[in-house]
Structure 1
Amino acid sequence: MTKYLTLLRHGEAEHGYGQSGDFKRKLTRDGKYKLQRLANVLKERKVEFDLLLKSPATRTVETAGIIRDAVLSHEDREEGVLYLAETDDIIKVLNKLSDDIHKVMVVGHNPGISALLSFLTNEYQISLSPGMMAVVELHADKWELGLTRGMGTLQEILQ
């Protein structure tokens, strides 16, 4: 069965300084507003995920919360390695998933989240802005096989 990977860059966040300041950055009012608009579209479409993975940073937790309130997610999990993760780190997390899981959303950070999108789809002109979401269809029934260069087809981008 085909796998679907939804990549969501966290919403617009306030400015922060230093490593601890970056980790604790909260969403701005505008960031929350735009995410709520996205959440309304997802709710209207009755979007569902088997698993929602997120970075533990404040802005990604807040982003995931807004989306989770609008969609059905069977499991919600924080993964510490997703904080400012590179493409390889995100792939390692996804490769550990059970193949019984078919629809996954990852809420993360740039540049890793956009780099993963480019890697999977060979679409190199796309850089996800804050609050932007991309849906990728992976042409494999196992996560390990689907998470290789060019194995995905970009289905949709929403913001």
Structure 2
Amino acid sequence: MNRLILLRHGEAERDAASGDDFDRHLTARGWREAEGAAIALAAESIRPVLALVSSAPRALETWRACEPAFPNAREQIEPALYSVDAAGIRRLAEAAGVVSGAVMVVGHNPGVQDLAVQLLAEGSAPPSEIARMERRFPTGAAAVFAFHDDGAPVFEGLFLAPPGIAE
């Protein structure tokens, strides 16, 4: 893996009919956020070869909204992504077996945000950038990291749905 794309699922309904947080689905805005983030990433030629996707409906739907922008990406459902912490997300991505190319993780906060903050710190990002990531990692946002040969991460940007898409 030479690039990691951390994508937080799109905006989800406040409550699922079942009452279980796991079962929440995307709102119309969430679908637009996910599609917009995927379009923004693809426009920058940032495309995953593998998408590791949480099994929660809102994450699966986020990936469904992204798929058209990434037609050559393989999908791998990872139930652990629903509740795993930052270290677990990183282990799953590293264990995915992608030698070259990008791995996208479609997951949840706080794990996705915490991993983005950790990678920024490891990559010696400016404190202002780390603080910005600590403050907010909104639904439908993607943080992209490249990796040097020695494994050190480099922040390539935070991608949000284009203006007007998420509104």
Normalising by structure 1, what TM-score? 0.83
- Cα distance, 1:89 vs structure 2: 1.2
Q: Which structure 1 segments of 5+ residues have no match?
A: none
Structure 1 Cα separation of the partners of residues 141 and 82 of structure 2: 17
Q: Which residue of 2 aligns with 1:157?
A: 158
Q: Structure 1 residues 92 and 37, CA, compared in 2 at 3 Å: closer, same or farther?
A: closer
Q: Tell me the distance in 1 between the aligned counterparts of 2:148 and 2:74.
A: 23
1:63 is aligned with what amino acid?
A: T
- The residue number in structure 1 matching 2:124 is none
Which runs of at least 4 in structure 1 moved beyond 3 Å after TM superposition?
A: 42-47
Q: What 5-or-longer segments of structure 2 have no aligned partner? A: 122-129, 161-167
Question: 8 Å contact 1:47–1:71 — kept in the other structure?
Answer: no
Deviations 1:20-68 (A, max 9, x none): 6211100011111222222333444454221111100000000011111
Deviation at 1:100, TM superposition (A): 1.9
Distance 1:120 1:89 in 2: 14
| Structure 2 CA distance for aligned equivalents of residues 22 and 66 of structure 1 | 21
Cα distance in 2, alignment partners of residues 74 and 37 from structure 1:
17
Q: Measure the CA separation in 1 of the matches of 2:98 and 2:105.
A: 16
TM-score by length of 2: 0.79
CA 1:97–1:40 in structure 2 vs 1: closer, same or farther (change >3 Å)? closer
Could you tell me the percent identity over the aligned residues? 31
- Counterpart residue number, 1:65: 64
Alpha-carbon distance in structure 2 between the residues aligned to 1:82 and 1:135: 18
Cα distance in 2 between the residues matched to 1:132 and 1:62: 15
Structure 2 Cα separation of the partners of residues 83 and 129 of structure 1: 17
Aligned length: 150
- Cα-to-partner distance string for 1:82-109 (whole Å, 9 max, x where unaligned): 1122012112212313252421100100
After TM superposition, list the pairs within 5 Å mapping 1:116-135 onto structure 2: 116-122=115-121, 123-126=130-133, 127-135=136-144
